[in-house]
A and B are shown apart, each in its own frame.
Chain A
């Protein structure tokens, strides 16, 4: 069975840092890209970043709203991916989701349960 367990959400002060984690199981993790998506309270979905697989050199893409502040790492030996968030702003308050990307056709077909990040003093 394909599963994702997300963790790491917390209350953090503005300009603080936080790392979110996802651990995947039930499939060949190393084959897939992983995306991060967030949803501010009462708002729609916002794609924030992508980590490609080893075959594509573990390269990343980010939305402008987080570029330079957020990074993504992955450890294929542990089937895990981390979202490292620095210099957090109140506007970063949201539920954060990691998601597996379908190969070749795109689309996020396996989602974590979400973890809540609150940025507030």
Chain B
């Protein structure tokens, strides 16, 4: 199985901050990486697929980058509605696997 490791597990930030979340895979993923946002009591929401393609309707302050085994989700200017937990997911091979999540909290 491909192991997905996210860091940090939590981050405290203020509105307007730039936040970066890392995701490392145990083997190369080509372009098969997605990012999700989840708020308490709600289903996840797809933010980015294919490493860097923004899902329709997602604000442009979100961006994804990376290649091989190392990937990054960046929020360029954190907004109040962005406080949530973020997950990466590889879809290269089965079983599909998620990272452990990164909780973005208000400082």
Q: Which residues of A contact B (CB under 8 A)?
A: 35, 37, 44-47, 50, 61-64, 97, 99, 102, 105-109, 111-114
Q: How far is the CA of A37 from the CA of B38 in the complex (A)?
A: 13
Interface size on B, residues (CB 8 A): 23
A45 touches B101 (CB 8 A): yes
Q: Which residues of B contact A (CB under 8 A)?
A: 32, 34, 36, 38, 43-46, 49-50, 53, 55, 87, 89, 91, 94-101
Main secondary structure of the interface of A (DSSP, over half): strand
A44 touches B98 (CB 8 A): yes
Q: Which residues of A contact B50 (CB under 8 A)?
A: 105-107
Q: Which residues of B contact A109 (CB under 8 A)?
A: 46, 49, 55
Q: How far is the CA of A109 from the CA of B46 in the complex (A)?
A: 5
Q: How far is the CB of A96 from chain B (nearest CB, A)?
A: 10
Q: How far is the CB of B18 from chain A (nearest CB, A)?
A: 24
A107 touches B96 (CB 8 A): no
Q: Which of A44, A45, A46, A99 has its CB near the most chain B CB atoms (within 10 A)?
A: A45
Q: How far is the CB of A92 from chain B (nearest CB, A)?
A: 16
A47 touches B98 (CB 8 A): yes
Chain A residue nearest to B92 (CB atoms) is A106
CB contact between B34 and one of A44, A61, A106, A114 (< 8 Å): that residue = A106
Q: How far is the CA of A75 from the CA of B67 in the complex (A)?
A: 38
A112 touches B49 (CB 8 A): no
Q: Provided the pairs A44-B101, A105-B53 are in contact, do residues A63 and B95 lie with their beta carbons within 8 angstroms?
A: yes
